[in-house]
Amino acid sequence: MTRQLLVLIGTRKGAFILSGSPAGRDDAAGWRLSGPLCEGWPINHFRHDPASGALLAGGGSPWYGAAVWRSDDLGTSWTHSSQGMTYGDDGPAMRSVWHVEPVGDVLYAGVEPAGLFKSIDGGATWAHVEGLTNHPSRPSWQPGNGGLICHTVFAHPSDANRMWVAISAVGCFATEDGGRTWEARNQGVRVDGLPDPYPETGQCVHKMVAAAGQPDRLYQQNHCGTYRSDDAGRTWICLDEGLPSTFGFPIVAHPSDPDTVFTIPLNGDDRGRYVPEAKLAVWRTTDQGSHWSSLREGLPSSDAFVGVLRESMARDDLQPFGLYFGTSTGQLFASADEGGSWRRMADLLPPITSVETALVDA
C-alpha cells in the first residue's frame, strides 16, 4: 500500500493540507496544497486521529461559535458540532476550541474560556469535564494575551486516568482519576512581574509535552522560560541557560529520545515577539536541557520578522523523522533530516496556528 504524508495546517482563515510522498520530503515542488477547509473558520488545532482515521479540527467562528470539525474521508467532506459544549446559560460563552486530543475511543477538547470537554461519540456530542473547572483556583484564573485558553491536553500512554492539561495564563494541572479531580502542578515555574514569582497557579504555560518513553518527564515552553519536570509536573527545573531568550511558544519532543526536545525561542514578550535578531532558528537540546544548540541551515538568516505560535511545530514518525513549523505570517518550513536542514514548503498561507502530520494510505 502506498503511503501519503499529510502536513495538517491550521490557520486563522481555515485549515489546509499539504500532501506528498514520504520519499519526497526533500522536494517542496512535489507537494500539493489543498484548502481552505472548514469554511475558512479560524482553526487553532488541526490533527489526525490514528485510531479512527479521522481528521479533526478545533476552532471557533466569530459569528457561529466554537466547534470541532471532523472529516472521515481525509478532508473531502466535513461535519461539525459543539452540541453540549457549553458552561450553561449562567456560565461564560464558549468562544473557541484550542486543542483536540484523542485518548483511545474518547475525544477531549480544550476550549476557551479555559475548560475541558469530552466526547464518547466521535465528536457528535460533548460533555463538560467539570472537575477541572471546579478546581479551587478557578476564580483566580486570568487570561493571557491569547485569551483564557486550555491549549494542551494529553494522557499517560498506558493509563488513560492520568492526564495533563495546560492553561494560559494559569499553568499545568494533572488528574490521576480520569478527570474527576485535578491538581495544580507548577512548582518551580516562574511568573515574571508578580510580587510572588512562584505562585501555585498563574503561570503562563505556552505548550507542554511528554518525553518519549518517559511519560512522567514533561517539558514546557512558558512565557517566562523553558522547563523540565521529572516527576509528572509536580516540580519543574528551569532550562533557560543556553537559550537566546526566555520566551517562545512551541515545544516538540523527539520520537524516541527522552533527552531531546525542540523549541523556537522568540525575542521576548515586549520586543516584538519575533525570532531573535530576525534570524530564524530551531533550538535543540539532546541532554535534557543542560545545553542547547541552534539548527539554521536553510532557514532565513536575516530580516525574518516572524513568530511561531504554540501549536505550530510538529514532527512526523518517519526515519529519519521530519520536523515542520509554520509562522504567524504564513510560511511553512520543513526538515526531512531531524532539523539538520530546512526548506520552505509554503509561503503565502494565512497566519499559521497549528501544524501536525499524518501518515495515511494513499
Written as one letter, the residue type at 186 is N
Cβ nearer to other proteins, comparing 68 with 74: 68
**Minimum CB–partner distance for residue 306 and other proteins (Å):** 19
Closer by beta carbon to other proteins, 87 or else 305:
87
Q: Pairing relation of β-strands 55-61 and 65-71?
A: antiparallel
Q: Count Cβ neighbours within 10 Å for each residue of 218-244 and write b for 16 or more, e otherwise.
A: bbbbbbbbbbbbbebbbebebbbeebb
> By the 8 A CB rule, do 3 and 362 touch?
yes
* Smaller CB separation from other proteins, 90 or 270: 90
Least separation in angstroms between residue 5's CB and other proteins is 29
Q: Which residue has the cell 502530520?
A: 357
Residues that bind other proteins (CB under 8 A): 39, 62-65, 67, 80-83, 86, 89, 93
CB of 23 to other proteins, least distance (A): 37
Inter-residue contact 99 to 150 (CB < 8 Å) = yes
Task: Pick between residue 133 and residue 235 the one whose CB is nearest to other proteins.
Answer: 133
Buried b (16+ CB within 10 A) or exposed e, 15-31: bbbbbbebeebeebeeb
Please report how close the Cβ of residue 63 comes to other proteins at its closest, in angstroms: 4
Min dist CB 75 to other proteins, Å, is 15
User: With b meaning 16 or more CB within 10 Å and e meaning fewer, what string describes 327-346?
Assistant: bbbbbbbbbbebbeebbebb
Max CA-CA distance within the chain? 59
Least distance in angstroms from the C-beta of 81 to other proteins:
6
Residue number with CB closer to other proteins (64 or 193)? 64
Amino acid at 329: T
Cβ closer to other proteins: 89 or 287? 89
Cis omega before residue 320 (within 30°)?
Answer: yes
Q: Round the CA-based radius of gyration of the chain to a whole number and report it.
A: 19
- By C-beta, is 67 or 107 nearer to other proteins? 67
Q: Which residue carries 484548502 as its cell? A: 35
**Rounded distance between C-alpha atoms, residue 304 and residue 274, angstroms:** 8
Q: Which amino acid is at 65?
A: G
Residue placing its CB nearer to other proteins in the complex, 38 or 204: 38
Spatial contact of 83 and 125, defined as CB atoms under 8 Å apart: yes
Give me the least distance between CB of 64 and other proteins, in Å please: 4
What residue ranges in 22-157 does DSSP mark as E strands? 32-37, 43-48, 55-61, 65-71, 79-81, 96-103, 106-112, 115-119, 127-128, 149-156
Give CA separation, 153 vs 111, 138, 214, in Å: 10, 18, 17
CB of 65 to other proteins, least distance (A): 6
Nearer to other proteins, 52 or 79 (CB): 79
Nearer to other proteins, 86 or 187 (CB): 86
* Residue 85: CB minimum distance to other proteins, A: 8
**Cβ atoms of residues 266 and 219 within 8 Å:** no
Closest CB 155 distance from other proteins, rounded Å:
27
